[in-house]
Amino acid sequence: MTAPDCDHGEKVAYPDGETAARALVECKISRALHNNTRRRARRAYECRHCHRWFLTSRPDLFATAS
């Protein structure tokens, strides 16, 4: 269910901002515990095309969940 204008590809999607924010916290904890530098999610944002939520490492993306 990916709208044509979406640019997030097959990323993990979250149904709402609260869920995405929780996942973001878990991601940060995981990085801190395991020094995992591959998951660099910094913030959550809502896709304005499909209205699902995603995590991103880009600080310059439109909407924010926090």
Q: Which is nearer to Zn ion, 40 or 49 (CB)?
A: 49
Q: Does 13 help bind Zn ion (rule: CB under 5 A)?
A: no
| Residue 61 binding Zn ion, by CB under 5 A | no
Instruction: Say if residue 52 is exposed, middle or buried (CB neighbours under 10 Å; 0-12, 13-18, 19+).
Output: buried
Provide the greatest CA pair distance for the chain.
Answer: 37
Task: Report how far residue 35's alpha carbon sits from residue 52's, in angstroms, rounded to the nearest whole number.
Answer: 28
Each residue 20-49 as x (binds Zn ion by CB under 5 A) or -, in order, gives ---------------------------x-x
The residues binding Zn ion (CB under 5 A) are 6, 47, 49-50
